[in-house]
Structure 1
């Protein structure tokens, strides 16, 4: 099959007419479409350019539609069949919509004869048609009021009918009559900004949209629309001859467009529908099609790094060309506003510009200075397009000698002290390739994805987002969402040390081994090379090495235990380290995945920070005595309850059967709440369920559910199943088995989307009623939720991991479970506990994106740690079977 033969063979008008005469136009059309599709898909697999195939598909469709049009609406004046949108450009992917405009000179009663039958036939053929029937006046009126409609008409192309109508439409929608070039540019840029914001303004989402994400095909289409509207250009050659693009940039644009076209074609072909999202399961298939294989890095990660680098390159060209359009369209008649900064740079129309084309060749250090100037001058809104081009052309000058130059090192270090939009300067440096050239260790992680459900962005995009979060904490508008972190961030003595730690905290990923340790080595070398003191170097290195520790302590340890607080305080050793680590931790969590930060996670970190601060203030040599802690809590609860009419003797009787853990871990206010309710609950055969929102500092904006019921190890799976039916997510569970056969259980919950429960009345009553029924004697317990496992989870075949250890100090066995999240997970684990007669003492529930890392503190029925190794292995195996068997449910 040759390139020249293929388009001619795709559609034969004579063969179609013969088949239509014998079997009717529907069967003939379906046959023609099937044969053409088979040929095109085979050509794609054989390596034909996707650009050729989508144009050939459009040509074949042109011919088929023209033939069908003639059967129903023979040519007559005042009626035309017009291709618009992407189809109007002559581009048609396997399952793209075929956008048609049936244009008529004036409105006929009942519509043009034969058009309804024509459209019906197209649907019968299985084509995805987007069509409108409008008069010339209607088109003009709609285009004048909606830039999207005008854009759809920009590439209108006649398929059949009255060519004069299309000519009139083009004239009446030209810049002479509506949407002058200036207004059109501003409207389209606003559309692009809104679209980019929808995708978090990054090319690096882990499931990008090849059409709409930054750096995708829509960015290229925008360039085409602007060029066509203002200049009448439609080819890359016209961009080059005009000086808007160099030959190298034109080549990048064309090759990048072909790559994106090929990805989109493959997605349509694989899925059998119009699918533009590079979902996880599609990524693996495309990696195989591109010839990548698993090695030191997964094939899918290698393919996606290629994708991200093309997206970054196209985003750069989009930025450069839009600035050129801005200059040519918005400022065409305006005199340049120029402010001289120094011998090297000037501000021209708000953009910093090199004053000489030889600047970077004669003084390579200016490759860093340009960003420092932009970061220190609030009047600079960006870097001029010619200077961006010069930066790209001269970035190869950043070599070992450049990096070793003390003046260059000083310039780079000053960037972290820039007063204005510092993070934006780092993003520009990354986008133009400067950051990766100056820091080769950063260059290695550019576009590097982490093929999991936890991280929403690539390593480099995440790193810059973390630094941006740090800067955001310094602004007053962060006080409401991050009250503690913002206050702590503002009082850090050297904020540049925090930014350097953020830059290096994940830089060791993708190399194998512990990325925290690898990153710490790189960070130490950077600090010493750049002249930081040994004290500052040690702080940055410690932060990088320990950037996960605070999160792990807060979410996996019992931070109500003073021994745990003391251990963490000994690890941190100083208030200065604690402050820096808190800000880094909160910035990291919020930069990893936007869904991870919620009220519960915030409250845990706030509690750990506050208690550790107290421990450091007391001194590491003066740990809190547990009995003193218990006595203080008991006395505080007594003080509250005495005001409510209780005597000390009554309270001693009520609390006689409670273990010390209850008073060690619960707050005095909650103990008083529990005690008062229990004292008035006289029928122990029926469970007592209390629900209230917790507004105290350490559990802010979560909902507490307290259950007082007869001790029954079936309660935990029942409660978990019922809570999931109620669309609540459990974040912490505490279980106290009293000596009188009763159990006191507390669950901290949020809505299933991680937000606090807003309705404090009816919703709480509803929860209490359902849980009371689920735990009653007549109830069988709530059924485990059978909802379909989320698509993202099904895309990963990650096995459940379990680990069991013994905490001799607390007298419990610690079971850790790591698994993709799925409906009914906690209830299923609880059922395994019932099966093996395991008693749950407490649980720390942590959901990270679509993955859970849960910790359960368990004992045998005699409340002793599990000592039997075979029993421990059997429990873990049962949990793995129970969870992994549900992956594809």
Structure 2
């Protein structure tokens, strides 16, 4: 996207020297020179790759430099091949107008973003139906590339066919959009570029955006639909390289930008956002290059084994309470989060541009709905916006208020306001965190009746959440390095809050009938939401995260506005949030001592209800498929046994009392036949 010159190019490959060597071989051996030529080309390729490996080892975060270097190496080889084939194998001194050939780089090769084992995606373009000469040149070049062991993805089309197919097929249209001239007939390439913009792109901008976003959403669904899966696909996963590329494709198609930096000039990204774009891109490209080098193949899934090796390669070190691999993956997820934030503001900005253009055309041109005022904010088109650039600077508590209002009124936060919030989040200091109004607003948002999870996610992506609750900021993008958890700590927590909200609204009563009943019986629903927020708040620290989390809860709950009883309840829930699942799944529920031990810790029905709810959302928020009917049955059995024991008291012989009570009840119902009970 940004093709800065590759430094010290001849240390990678010296095209003139290689071309001279091939010419000498042809002059000496004629038609028999092919094996020696292939050997010379392979030697140049191997030496170039070795130099690029050395450079990445020297600067392990240099993603752009590495990928540009591989694209440069490929460019030079393709040029040497074309010159050799057209000069030595199929010379045509007096070519006709049809005997022209342009070689275009497409895909990652076209963007000059090639990892060590990326495919070489090439398009051969001819002015009209292929002549024998064009076919011979293309075939000879492909055979030589295959001899070199290159994995080549190629197409061969006339200019008319390329334009026609681009109109019909999104993939081909995207290929032409990012096609880069490599060698051959440059005039033909220029004609293809001109016709693409005038005959394909013009008037189809909105359609392209819609189709690209649909393509992106389908890809996300295949990959797990979260940017916080613990074994992410760095290319196609949510928050990965393909998402950044999609932004560039959309920006280029709608505004004809030539580089990602020009997205600033057309207003789709701010300077700070562009820098974030480049940082995320550089890191992700570097990780992909390391992954290819480690595996020796085009591998894009960052599994646990590879995470450890890349963390070491990229010089991440252990820290107290956090290993090098956890620090590496936390940094990875912070970049994925940045990609998500960029995507949100970028697409919202584009959507507004389209809306403004539509408002100026057609029958209703000039007729636009009027914005309304809400507590000083501007509400229009389902979005809430700050009325001025200084809005949050004048009163930083508004950084909490805008999200609380968005949840309460079921509004989106305007992209410009999201940008302001991200910029001004640093204004949240100790004074704001201790402000009673700010904490009341936050608690209202957390326990909101509409969709608190989505708004908390926006708040988190703007950086406001981590500033207002620094303990939550510490688990932002925190890796859970095991096979059980699918998501980072912050994403797991926000998903759990969303599940609690859905349970309260009755949307999950088929899967969680007991929790759906219990949430309406607890004395404090806000304590339930705060407990979910804080249950994993101390993960990644040195020590037991349940014990440390309970200490955090005792500090934060009074700040949020919870009373003494609620604070003690939340602290207890955080301390024992794993108790019910461990007891149900790892202890024998037919053993009276199992229930006795569990009840001795719980000691009350209110705690039991809250713990059952917290356990259900905690398990389900771990990832797809982690909640099932077997777990539901075990937890339900433990709940029922414990509830019965708690209602009858803690007598050691409570079971005998329950049996006697049942006998008496049955005996009474049997009346004259009560002797049947005595015989049992």
TM-score by length of 1: 0.67
SS of the aligned residue for 2:48 comes to helix
Equivalent pair of 2:446/2:456 in contact (CA under 8 Å): no
> Which residue of the other structure, out of 202, 210, 213, is the alignment partner of 2:226?
202
Q: Which of 369, 373, 387 is the matching residue for 1:341?
A: 373
Structure 2 residue 330 is matched with structure 1 residue 305: yes
Give 1:460 shift. Answer: 1.4
Give distance in 2, aligned partners of 1:235 and 1:105. Answer: 28
Matched, 1:43 2:71: no
Q: How does 1:97-112 map to 2 (within 5 A)?
A: 97-108=119-130, 112=135
Determine the structure 2 residue equivalent to 1:667. Answer: none
Q: Which residue of 2 aligns with 1:245?
A: 269
- Residue 409 of structure 1 corresponds to 439
1:326 aligns to 2:351 (yes or no): yes
State how 1:579-594 maps to structure 2 within 5 Å.
579-594=609-624
In structure 1, C-alpha distance between the alignment counterparts of 2:626 and 2:468, rounded to whole Å? 32
Rounded to whole Å, the distance in 1 between the matches of 2:538 and 2:113 is: 43
Distance 1:546 1:338 in 2: 52
Separation in 1 of the partners of 2:468 and 2:313? 34
1:395 aligns with 2:425: yes
Q: Distance in 2 between matches of 1:9 and 1:494?
A: 67
Cα distance 1:301–1:342, how it changes in 2: closer, same or farther (>3 A)? Answer: same
**Secondary structure class of the residue paired with 2:433:** helix
Distance 1:144 1:496 in 2: 54
1:550 to 2:572 alignment: no
Q: The residue matched to 1:133 in structure 2 has which SS?
A: strand
Q: Structure 1's 571 and 53: CA in aligned 2 closer, same or farther, altered over 3 A?
A: closer
**1:90: which partner in 2?**
112
Provide Cα deviations, 1:193-223, integer angstroms capped at 9, x if missing partner. Answer: 2333344443322112222223221121111
* 8 Å Cα contact 1:562-1:626 kept in structure 2: no
Query: What is the CA-CA distance between 1:270 and the residue it aligns to?
Result: 1.9
Matched, 1:159 2:182: yes
Matching residue within 563, 573, 578 for 2:603: 573
2:471 alignment partner, SS class: helix
The structure carrying a bigger strand percent of its residues is 1
Q: Are 1:97 and 1:129, in contact at CA under 8 Å, matched by a contact in 2?
A: yes
Q: Does structure 1 residue 28 correspond to structure 2 residue 40?
A: yes
User: 1:300, 1:153 → 2: CA distance?
Assistant: 39
| Residues 181 and 316 of structure 1, relative CA distance in 2, 3 Å threshold | same
The alignment partner of 1:113 has SS state of: helix
Who is 2:73 aligned against?
60
Structure 1 SS opposite 2:541: coil
CA distance in 1, matches of 2:198, 2:323: 51
The 1:535–1:339 alpha-carbon spacing in structure 2 relative to 1, beyond 3 Å, is same
Return the match for 1:611 from 641, 646, 651.
Answer: 641
| 1:222-371 to 2 correspondences below 5 Å | 222-296=246-320, 297-334=322-359, 337-371=369-403
Aligned residue for 2:669?
Answer: none
Tell me if the contact between 2:389 and 2:420 (Cα under 8 Å) persists in the aligned partners: yes
What secondary structure sits across from 2:157 in the alignment? strand
Residue 528 of structure 1 is aligned with which of 558, 561, 582? Answer: 558
CA RMSD of aligned residues (A): 2.9
Native 8 Å contact 1:175 1:229 kept in 2: no
CA contact (8 A) 2:307 2:325 kept: yes
Take 1:100 and 1:488, find their aligned partners in 2: how far apart are those partners? 61
Q: Could you say if the C-alpha distance between residues 175 and 595 of structure 1 is closer, same or farther in structure 2, counting changes exceeding 3 Å?
A: farther
SS in structure 2 opposite 1:127?
Answer: coil
Q: How many residues align?
A: 634
- Residue of structure 2 equivalent to 1:706: none
Contact 1:80 1:102 in 2 (8 A): yes
- 1:6 aligned onto 2:9: yes
Structure 1 residue aligned with 2:512:
482
**Shift of residue 464, structure 1, vs aligned partner:** 1.2
| 85-94 or 42-51, which deviates more | 42-51
Equivalent residue for 1:689? none
Shift of residue 35 of structure 1? 0.9
**Which segment is superposed worse, 31-40 or 279-288?**
279-288
CA contact (8 A) 2:12 2:49 kept: no
Sort the Cα spacing of 1:215 and 1:625 in 2 relative to 1 into closer, same or farther, 3 A: closer
8 Å Cα contact 2:12/2:52 also seen in 1? no
Q: CA deviation at 1:116?
A: 2.7
- Give the direction of change, closer, same or farther, for the CA distance of 1:626–1:199 in structure 2 (3 Å limit): farther
Write the mapping of 1:587-736 to structure 2, written as runs, cut at 5 A: 587-621=617-651, 623-625=653-655
State the distance in 1 between where 2:502 and 2:374 align. 31
Of the candidates 512, 517, 526, which is equivalent to residue 542 of structure 2? 512
Give the helix-richer structure, 1 or 2.
2
**Aligned partners of 2:189, 2:391: CA distance in 1, in Å?**
51
- CA distance in structure 1 between the aligned counterparts of 2:522 and 2:224, rounded to whole angstroms: 29
Query: How far has the Cα of 1:262 moved from its partner?
Result: 1.4
Counterpart-to-counterpart distance in 2, 1:630 and 1:92: 77
Deviations 1:680-726 (A, max 9, x none): xxxxxxxxxxxxxxxxxxxxxxxxxxxxxxxxxxxxxxxxxxxxxxx
Alpha-carbon distance in 2 for matches of 1:551, 1:63: 61
Identify unmatched segments of 5+ residues in structure 1: 637-647, 653-662, 664-889
Structure 2 CA distance for partners of 1:287 and 1:338, relative to 1, 3 Å: farther
Q: Distance in 1 between matches of 2:352 and 2:295?
A: 42
Cα distance in structure 2, aligned partners of 1:240 and 1:269: 34
* Correspondence for 1:219: 243
CA contact (8 A) 1:338 1:349 kept: no
2:153 aligned residue: 130
The answer to whether the 8 A contact 2:104-2:122 is kept is: yes
| Residues 596-651 of structure 1, C-alpha deviations (whole Å, 9 max, x = no match) | 32332222112112222232333334854369869999xx9xxxxxxxxxxx9xxx
Whole-Å Cα distance in 2 between the matches of residues 157 and 401 of structure 1?
Answer: 54
Cα distance change, pair 246–115 in 1 and its aligned pair in 2 (3 A) = closer
- In the alignment, the residues of structure 2 paired with residue 586 and residue 156 of structure 1 have an alpha-carbon distance, to the nearest angstrom, of 51
**Distance verdict in 2 for CA 1:30–1:202, change over 3 Å:** same
CA contact (8 A) 2:518 2:609 kept: yes
Closer/same/farther in 2, CA of residues 258 and 213 from structure 1, 3 Å limit: same
Separation in structure 2 between the aligned mates of residue 16 and residue 464 of structure 1, nearest angstrom: 59
Alpha-carbon distance in 2 for matches of 1:234, 1:108: 31
How far apart in 2 are the matches of 1:138 and 1:295? 58
Match of 2:165 among 139, 142, 164: 142
Tell me which residue corresponds to 1:727. none
Q: Is the 8 A contact 2:553 2:570 kept in 1?
A: yes
- Cα distance between partner residues in 2 of 1:491 and 1:148: 54
CA-CA distance at 1:155 after TM superposition: 1.0
**CA shift digits 1:124-148 (9 cap, x unpaired):** 2111111122333443343223222
